[in-house]
């Protein structure tokens, strides 16, 4: 018989395992703490358990821990990681250091099904959803990198890597629970941002679940014709449908939403585009992150000019919209926004 992934069990299910094997129910709490608080990746690390108990666990269960396969360090100290999953699939996660924060950018799916025109990940086939423990492991490994390499604690987590988190809803939510729970990593949900390309039905579900984390919408055009062209998901989740879902979300959570807007030269960087965006911003309290475009291989878009980018931002600010301009990080190692495609360079540092 194949061994069961122990991290797929709840605490109550673990208690049942121990009771059925003639042990005490409290043993489950010890194991659970090792798995989710201390992030153990082998049963032998669980030193307060007897050898007999560890043998029982080794006989019946496995910990499908994510492994670091490859690591690249950018000139700006951004670190891109290729993480190998138990089945051999690879996902990428990025540590983004700045003067005020240390951010982990993590993946939620192997590949992606949304085929956004400007994104390298969108060219990959979506092979499967990540399990909650695989999402959790990325955070733990990037957190350890922040502490050991930069002597700084991890401050923020963004679900902005490979995949669409809201199309892996249950596992995404469970991973947040494990990351934020006092029985897990005990990080504040307010330091977590989940980014979506815009799945209206699931944005409403976030509202129904009254989530405490932040929501970001990858908008990139506030005009249905343009958004349909670059993001096919808009054909079934129009701007009108998204606006309705976002209002619902805000009424349930009272959390201000962030709109992410990549500016492409001569496509969505005109004053008309800025006016469209300003109108969309009226629906709910929000802020806008304007993001530099990071060109991808054989991509049709180009980065806009600094002058047009600044004029775009100034127009939004004149309408009392909070605007941040996000400069690219890790571009030299294909670690920047939209570049994650499991493409490693010869200069990569192989993980030990």
Alpha helices (H) along 64-184: 132-150, 169-180
Beta bridge partners of residue 286, listed in sequence order: 257
Q: Where in 113-249 does DSSP place strands (E)? A: 128-129, 156-159, 192-196, 214-218
Catalytically active residues, by annotation: 92, 337
Contact 258, 194 (CB under 8 A): no
Question: How far is residue 61's CA from residue 53's CA, in Å, rounded to a whole number?
Answer: 12
The candidate with the shortest Cα–Cα distance to 268, out of 302, 232, 240, 226, is 226
Burial of 125: CB neighbours in 10 Å, binned 0-12, 13-18, 19+: exposed
Structure tokens given for 290: 């304007």
Question: How far is residue 352's CA from residue 70's CA, in Å, rounded to a whole number?
Answer: 9
Question: How far is residue 226's CA from residue 212's CA, in Å, rounded to a whole number?
Answer: 32
């Amino acid at each position: 018989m194949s061994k069961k992934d122990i991290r797929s069990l709840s605490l109550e299910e673990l208690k049942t395992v121990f009771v059925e094997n003639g042990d005490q129910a409290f043993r489950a709490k010890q194991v659970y703490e090792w798995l989710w608080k201390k992030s153990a990746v082998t049963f032998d690390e669980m030193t307060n358990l007897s050898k007999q108990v560890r043998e029982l666990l080794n006989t019946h269960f496995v910990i499908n821990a994510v492994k670091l396969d490859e690591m690249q360090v950018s000139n700006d100290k951004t670190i891109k990681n290729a993480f190998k999953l138990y089945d051999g699939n690879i996902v990428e996660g990025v540590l983004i250091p700045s003067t005020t924060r240390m951010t982990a950018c993590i993946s939620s799916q192997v590949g992606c099904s949304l085929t956004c025109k400007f994104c390298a990940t969108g060219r990959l086939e979506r092979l499967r959803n990540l399990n909650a423990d695989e999402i959790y492991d990325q955070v733990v490994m990037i957190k350890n990198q922040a502490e050991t390499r930069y002597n700084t604690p991890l401050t923020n987590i963004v679900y902005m890597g490979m995949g669409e988190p809201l199309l892996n809803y249950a596992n995404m939510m469970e991973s947040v629970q494990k990351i934020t729970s006092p029985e897990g990593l005990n990080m504040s949900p307010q330091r977590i941002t989940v980014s979506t390309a815009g799945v209206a039905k699931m944005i409403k579900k976030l509202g129904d679940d009254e989530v405490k984390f932040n929501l970001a919408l990858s908008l990139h055009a506030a005009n249905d014709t343009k958004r349909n062209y670059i993001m096919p998901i808009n054909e079934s989740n129009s701007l009108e449908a998204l606006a309705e879902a976002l209002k619902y979300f805000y009424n349930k959570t009272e959390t201000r939403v962030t709109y992410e807007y990549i500016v492409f030269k001569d496509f969505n960087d005109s004053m008309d585009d800025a006016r469209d965006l300003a109108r969309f911003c009226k629906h709910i309290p929000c802020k806008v992150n304007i993001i530099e475009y990071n060109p991808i291989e054989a991509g049709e878009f180009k980065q806009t000019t600094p002058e047009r980018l600044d004029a775009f931002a100034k127009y939004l600010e004149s309408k009392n919209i909070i605007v941040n301009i996000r400069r690219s990080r890790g571009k030299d190692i294909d670690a920047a926004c939209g570049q994650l495609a499991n493409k490693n360079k010869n200069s990569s540092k192989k993980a030990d």
